[in-house]
Amino acid sequence: MDAYPRSIAEGQGQERGNMPPSVSKLLAPFRRLRRSLTRVTGGGRLRQDIERFGTWTYPFDLGNGVTTPLHTDWMAESHETRNKMTFARLDEIYAGRWADIRCLDVACNEGFFGMEVCRRGAKEVVGFDARDVNVEKADFIKQHLGYDGISFHQADVGELTPDRFGVFDLTLCLGLLYHLENPMDTLRRVRAVTTDICVIDTQVLRVSAPVTTAWITEDRLIETEDVIGIIEEPDAIWNPAASVTGLSMVMNHSALLKMLQHAGFKEIERVEPFEGCFQPYATSDRVVLLARV
């Protein structure tokens, strides 16, 4: 789940295949895509098939000059950064072992990152998302690209249990936590199905002064640097990548670490952003963490 601006809805009336040149420039270094993003032309039936879905969260290269059109331009650079930061470490950690890895893509949206794991030869990949339209898109891409090692399901994160999904060496929790009313419950659920590493990509609050509360009496003043902010997402009704309920809890980095520890993760590594990465990662408004059990 990822947020995008109101301009998506305003731009729905534009011609579906009319991609701005800026998207091509942003996608040029995207390693997942072997071509530059160009105007969606040709492909016959394929083009008609993707147009029925409207715009997309991820730029899937479907061949024949057809790439799924994005909701908004900046998503290309965002996904490129997340892709590079995530797999720079995972490819080191699982080098020579991908064939033994089972992976769960939590709130997978259109399934892009689960497919990246599948493409690396993972033993099994499972993805689920709360929105039917996202699962339908993911299944369409899976069938078109021939990814047999991955399956997609419609489910809410509140349904995540080992009994329903099993346990996995690797779990992906990307672009999700800052869209939830109860992120602590989700972290506990994700921990329960993770046997090795959980990758977390999330927006965080900026560093601010500690907050205080008088704990029952004034002489028991408690000060904490761990803060959670409440964010409303009024676009939840029409935005297939926003909060399902419209209310989100966004924690600062300190609170996120504390919550991960209480969820049962033992070792937390922050992946450092690289020069030229997407701005929110460079300014630490967004982070990628590897949480080990």
Task: Give, in degrees to the nearest 5, the angle at Cα 59 between 56 and 61.
Answer: 125
The number of C-alpha atoms within 13 Å of 246 and in the hemisphere containing its C-beta is 5
Q: In whole angstroms, what is the distance from residue 15 CA to residue 135 CA?
A: 24
Mean pLDDT calculated for residue range 273-290: 97
| Domain shared by 137 and 253, yes or no | yes
DSSP-derived letter for residue 178 is G
Q: How confident is the model at residue 239 (pLDDT cuts 50, 70, 90)?
A: confident
| Domain shared by 150 and 229, yes or no | yes
Task: Give, in degrees to the nearest 5, the angle at Cα 113 between 108 and 116.
Answer: 145
Sequence-separated (6 or more) residues with CB below 8 Å from residue 141: 60, 62, 68, 110, 111, 115, 147
| Domain shared by 127 and 270, yes or no | yes
| Domain shared by 242 and 118, yes or no | yes
How many other C-beta atoms lie within 10 A of the C-beta of residue 146? 6
| Domain shared by 139 and 221, yes or no | yes
Q: How confident is the model at residue 8 (pLDDT cuts 50, 70, 90)?
A: very low
Using CA atoms of 43, 109, 194, 247 in order, give the dihedral in degrees to the nearest 10: 170
| Domain shared by 43 and 123, yes or no | no
Q: Which of 97, 89, 76, 106 is nearest to 4 (CA)?
A: 76
| Domain shared by 66 and 190, yes or no | no
Which H or E run contains 120?
A: none
Sign of dihedral through CA atoms 91, 92, 97, 103? negative
**Any idea what the CATH number is for the domain that residue 161 is in?**
3.40.50.150
Q: In whole angstroms, what is the distance from residue 52 CA to residue 46 CA?
A: 10
| Domain shared by 221 and 143, yes or no | yes
pLDDT digits (tens, 9 = 90+) for 125-166: 999 999 999 999 999 999 999 999 999 999 999 999 999 999
**Residue 16 near residue 44 (C-beta atoms within 8 A):** no
**Residue 204 near residue 285 (C-beta atoms within 8 A):** yes
Does 212 have pLDDT greater than 70?
A: yes
| Domain shared by 16 and 142, yes or no | no
| Domain shared by 16 and 146, yes or no | no
**Predicted TM-score of the model (pTM):** 0.82
Counted domains in the chain: 2
| Domain shared by 154 and 12, yes or no | no
Amino acid 93 reads I
- Looking at residue 219, its pLDDT comes to 87
Q: In whole angstroms, what is the distance from residue 249 CA to residue 252 CA?
A: 10
pLDDT digits (tens, 9 = 90+) for 59-111: 999 998 899 999 988 999 999 999 999 999 999 999 999 999 999 999 999 99
User: What is the pLDDT of the chain when averaged over all its residues?
Assistant: 87
Residue 146 lies in domain: 96-292
Grouping H, G, I as helix, E, B as strand and the rest as coil, residue 64 is coil
Partners of residue 56 on adjacent β-strands: 70
